[in-house]
């Protein structure tokens, strides 16, 4: 039996939608801990996925290298990364299985990062599933929920769940 690690079922959702796909590829922005409340750990550990993990806090880097060896670990501010260059340098497939964005809405990084992804990647790269944390329950200074929905809809993405609150 699979033991899921995400906070609100993101890993379970992705596996359900993609029919327990093996050897998938993800972009996880805001990885935080490598296992606990992590949306891609089970994908890498049990389903042989790999991908790119973006995290601001350097304190997780050594654990990523030990626990998550199949993925690329980028320790940097998600709003400052050149995603197009990162994808090209790492031969990322044009069709990825999962995009996860879980940053801090209160400082605007969630929306700024999504806008960078929209400008740098979404003309060329496609994601089969997306989970996006807008944190409207805690903060809505930047109208992140509505703006992010407009971006995803413009790109042809279909919302499965409007809002999930832990």
Exposure on the CB side of residue 101, measured as CA atoms within 13 A: 26
User: What pLDDT, on the 0 to 100 scale, is given for residue 133?
Assistant: 72
Q: Which two structure tokens, joined as six digits, stand for 43?
A: 């994908």
User: What pLDDT, on the 0 to 100 scale, is given for residue 166?
Assistant: 63
User: What pLDDT, on the 0 to 100 scale, is given for residue 165?
Assistant: 63
CA distance 48 to 54: 19
DSSP H or E segment with residue 13: helix 10-17
pLDDT along the chain (166 residues), means of 10: 78 94 97 91 96 95 94 96 98 97 80 95 96 67 81 89 63
User: What pLDDT, on the 0 to 100 scale, is given for residue 139?
Assistant: 64
User: What pLDDT, on the 0 to 100 scale, is given for residue 27?
Assistant: 98
Q: Give the chain's end-to-end CA distance (angstroms, integer).
A: 23
């Amino acid at each position: 039996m699979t033991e899921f690690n995400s906070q609100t079922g993101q890993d379970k959702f992705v596996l359900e939608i993609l029919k327990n796909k093996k050897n998938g590829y993800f972009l996880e922005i805001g990885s935080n801990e490598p296992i606990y409340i992590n949306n891609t750990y089970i994908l890498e550990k049990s389903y042989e996925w790999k991908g790119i993990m973006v995290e601001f806090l350097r304190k997780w880097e050594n654990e990523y290298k030990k626990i998550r060896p199949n993925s690329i670990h980028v320790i940097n501010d998600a709003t400052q990364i050149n995603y197009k260059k990162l994808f090209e340098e790492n031969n990322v497939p044009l069709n990825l299985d999962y995009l996860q964005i879980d940053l801090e809405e209160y400082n605007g990084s969630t929306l700024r990062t999504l806008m960078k992804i929209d400008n740098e990647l979404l003309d060329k790269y496609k994601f089969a599933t997306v989970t996006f944390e807008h944190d409207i329950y805690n903060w809505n200074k930047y109208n992140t929920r509505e703006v992010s929905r407009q971006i995803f809809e413009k790109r042809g993405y279909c919302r499965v769940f409007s809002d999930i609150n832990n």
